[in-house]
Amino acid sequence: MTWITFLWPMVTAACLTMGLIHLRIGLRRTPGVAHLWFALTAFVMAAFSSLELAMIQAQNPAQFLALQRWIDFASAAILVSLVVFVWVFFGSGRKWLALLGSGLVLGPMILNLGPEPKLTFLQITGIRTVETFGGASYAVAEGTRNAWLTLFYLGIIVVMAFVVDASVTLWRRGDRRRAVRVGGTITFFLLFAGVSAALVDAGIMPTPYLASLFYLAILVAMGMELSDDVLHAAQLAADLRENEERMSLATQAGGIGLWIWDLATNQVWGSEQLQGLFGFGSPVPVAYARIVDRIHQDDREQVEQEVQRAVVDRTDYAGEFRTIGADGTVRWIGAQARITVDANGKPARMLGAAIDITARKHAAQQVDQQRQELAHLSRITMLSELSGSLAHELNQPLAIILSNAQAAQRLMAQEPPDLAEVRDILADIVSEDERASEVIQRMRAMLKPGETRLQPLLITNVIEEVLQLVNSDLNSRSVIVHCRFPPVGPRVMGDQIQLQQVLLNLILNACDAMDTNPRADRYLTIATEQRNGMVYASVADNGCGLPPEVERVFEPFHTTKKDGLGLGLPICRTIASVHQGRLWAERNEVRGATFYLELPAAKATHS
């Protein structure tokens, strides 16, 4: 045992250890290709240093020559794998230098493929044992050298040029530490291992190859890289923990629940807050289906459809829905989510946040309810204004029914009774009765408090219903009505009763405005039209007109009527806005006013 037989196996072991570490990293990490290539250089270097040791201990020329063949191959393998490693690890370097260097290094290996390796020695004449310090000794071969080996060394120079160039590029890009540390040690290795090998091969320096010793520098550099990575990772982990802490504080403070839905496994990870919002206490992750189960069944289908659409279209999701907790508590949840895609652009995960909006929803519901109550009150007020006319509207069919019935009694008393006439009378009685009950139903609908229920409506039907309701009022006030409706009535999405309320209000206001006109000069014009996806209904009169600040009529408690509350138009305006529409007024050029109601058109249906 000499220092030689001690040192070389140490180097081999170091190479193997480093190689194994990088092999493991390369296999576990994505992308880990650079590590795999480095592992390859380390493993080949381990083999190389073993070969060096074997050559040192060679006993005869034949043995030496056989080892020479393999060490040549190993050196080529190291160089090529280093080139690839640098290319991948640095992400820089010139391709042509890499290819040229690899070619020059690999090309001469052909000479070693025959039965006798010819690359380094054409012929070995003898083995000489050289004694060195520490009682160690090593074998040196003597023989004729092959001039073609020069090509191989030219290759090393090109490889070195490639590495230096790649390192400079990396330096310029900013990763100076890696450029100096890894690029520098590889260059150092190439330079010293190359020069020393060249001197050995040229017979100038009668020593064994020392490449593996220089390779230690690379091992040290990569070891430092690795330890830096470990330290960096530890720092990141600490930062992450802190970030998580902050995030969790923030989400707790804001009541925000976070979730990550892995589309591949269909599992959902949810933060503690989210578990509270969805009312499940089980450990995460949970199956997506279990989350969906927690959504209120009235909302479930819609949420699933919207989420599915977000996944397919890779768009953001935003929605509001109710969840039911394990104890039956219903919560309103507002949720927003984003789809992330994998390397192939396929949807991979949905990241989302959810908050409890129950209080806001309840407040909104309360406001809505108050608005509805107010609207209801306003309808009652309007109908009480109309009560005289409505009584007349009911009285008329009753009068007709009575006269018909009494006529029938008289006809039945005759001999013979005119049964055909009586039959006609009964038919008329039935139809008048229906007319009366329609009046009552119309009135009852207006008097009923109700939620907003949007449905496709023909705006012209709504107007005609209202005109029926005010018919006798219009007659008694001698108002002449002109309707300008398109042949096909425009359809809107609306609440029948509320839209009737708006139009009734506008029509009654118009009539009031014309009260001071002479009887033959009271014209009410009602028109509808559809333009650019909006439906317009206008009510125009030739009455006393509006104040110069037209908007004042929409202010609450602004009224020109003796016993008016001044709430009719403001309520009508809120009804319009609930319908995503607008209500406004304009002064007519000559006299009177026109009120416009704008509503979104209902989507075309083919019914």
Partner 1 sequence: MNTRGTVYLLDDEPTMVKALTRLLTAEDFTVHGFTSVETFLDAGRTDEPSCLVLDVAMPELSGLDLQQRLAQDGILLPIVFLTGRGDIPMSVKAIKAGAVDFLTKPVQDDDLLRAVNAALERAAEQREAITEMASLRQRLANLTPREREVMEHVVAGRLNKQIAAELGIGEHTIKVHRSRVKKKMAVQSVAELVRAAARLGVGTL
Using CB under 8 A, which of the segments 29-37, 442-450, 472-480, 525-533 binds partner 1? 472-480
Alpha helices, DSSP H, located in 477-526: 496-513
Q: Does 407 bind partner 1 (CB under 8 A)?
A: yes
Shortest Å, Cβ 449 to partner 1:
30
How many angstroms separate the CA atoms of 510 and 458, rounded? 22
Q: Which of 330, 399, 419, 430 binds partner 1 (CB under 8 A)?
A: 399
Q: Is 58 left (phi over 0), alpha (psi -120 to 50) or beta?
A: beta
Q: Which of 12, 212, 472, 500 binds partner 1 (CB under 8 A)?
A: 472
Q: Does 433 bind partner 1 (CB under 8 A)?
A: no
Short-list 62, 206, 207, 198, CA closest to 125: 62
Q: Which of 236, 341, 380, 391 binds partner 1 (CB under 8 A)?
A: 391
Using CB under 8 A, which of the segments 101-109, 264-272, 319-327, 469-477 binds partner 1? 469-477
What distance, in Å, lies between the first and last C-alpha atoms of the chain?
Answer: 101
Q: What is the DSSP string of 289-331?
A: HHHHHTB-HHHHHHHHHHHHHHHHHT--EEEEEEEE-TT--EE
Other C-beta atoms closer than 10 Å to the C-beta of 496 total 16
Q: Does 410 bind partner 1 (CB under 8 A)?
A: yes
Shortest Å, Cβ 460 to partner 1:
23
Q: Does 468 bind partner 1 (CB under 8 A)?
A: no
Short-list 540, 548, 539, 551, CA closest to 502: 539
Short-list 208, 211, 218, 184, CA closest to 19: 218
The β-bridge relationship of strands 480-484 and 523-531 is: parallel
Q: Does 336 bind partner 1 (CB under 8 A)?
A: no
Cβ nearer to partner 1, comparing 520 with 604: 520
Cβ nearer to partner 1, comparing 318 with 399: 399
Q: Does 421 bind partner 1 (CB under 8 A)?
A: yes
Q: Does 402 bind partner 1 (CB under 8 A)?
A: yes
Cβ nearer to partner 1, comparing 27 with 391: 391
Q: Which of 165, 272, 428, 433 binds partner 1 (CB under 8 A)?
A: 428
Q: What are phi and psi of 538, to 5 degrees?
A: -125, 145
Amino acid, single-letter form, for residue 28 = R
Secondary structure of residue 58 in the 3-state scheme? coil
Q: Which of 400, 458, 467, 534 binds partner 1 (CB under 8 A)?
A: 400
Q: How many residues bind partner 1 (CB under 8 A)?
A: 28
Shortest Å, Cβ 418 to partner 1:
8
Q: Which of 206, 388, 449, 547 binds partner 1 (CB under 8 A)?
A: 388
- The neighbouring-strand residues paired with 320 are 334
**Could you tell me if 332 and 358 are in contact, meaning their C-beta atoms sit under 8 angstroms apart?**
yes
Q: Which of 403, 468, 525, 574 binds partner 1 (CB under 8 A)?
A: 403
The β-bridge relationship of strands 523-531 and 491-494 is: unpaired
Shortest Å, Cβ 473 to partner 1:
12
**What would the two tokens of residue 232 be?**
């960096």
Shortest Å, Cβ 406 to partner 1:
4
Q: Which of 23, 218, 355, 401 binds partner 1 (CB under 8 A)?
A: 401
Shortest Å, Cβ 540 to partner 1:
21
Which of the residues 475 through 514 are near partner 1 (CB under 8 A)? Answer: 475-476, 478
How many angstroms separate the CA atoms of 156 and 250, rounded? 58
Q: Which of 308, 387, 406, 441 binds partner 1 (CB under 8 A)?
A: 406
Cβ nearer to partner 1, comparing 175 with 385: 385
Cβ nearer to partner 1, comparing 28 with 519: 519
- The neighbouring-strand residues paired with 140 are 128
**What would the two tokens of residue 453 be?**
């229920």
Shortest Å, Cβ 447 to partner 1:
22
Q: Does 404 bind partner 1 (CB under 8 A)?
A: yes
Cβ nearer to partner 1, comparing 84 with 511: 511
The answer for residues whose C-beta is within 8 angstroms of residue 447's C-beta and 6 or more apart is 379, 380, 383
Q: Which of 163, 425, 511, 597 binds partner 1 (CB under 8 A)?
A: 425
Q: Does 398 bind partner 1 (CB under 8 A)?
A: yes
The β-bridge relationship of strands 582-587 and 523-531 is: unpaired
Q: What are phi and psi of 279, to 5 degrees?
A: 70, 40
Other C-beta atoms closer than 10 Å to the C-beta of 158 total 22
Cβ nearer to partner 1, comparing 373 with 424: 424
Using CB under 8 A, which of the segments 82-90, 400-408, 457-465, 546-554 binds partner 1? 400-408
How many angstroms separate the CA atoms of 100 and 10, rounded? 34
The answer for residues whose C-beta is within 8 angstroms of residue 478's C-beta and 6 or more apart is 519, 520, 522
- The neighbouring-strand residues paired with 535 are 530, 599
Q: Does 396 bind partner 1 (CB under 8 A)?
A: yes
Q: Which of 52, 175, 432, 465 binds partner 1 (CB under 8 A)?
A: 432
Using CB under 8 A, which of the segments 285-293, 384-392, 437-445, 494-502 binds partner 1? 384-392
Shortest Å, Cβ 588 to partner 1:
25
* Burial of residue 271 (number of CB atoms within 10 Å: 0-12, 13-18, 19+): buried
DSSP label at residue 520: T
Residue ranges in contact with partner 1 by CB under 8 A: 388, 391-392, 395-396, 398-404, 406-411, 414, 421, 425, 428, 431-432, 472, 475-476, 478
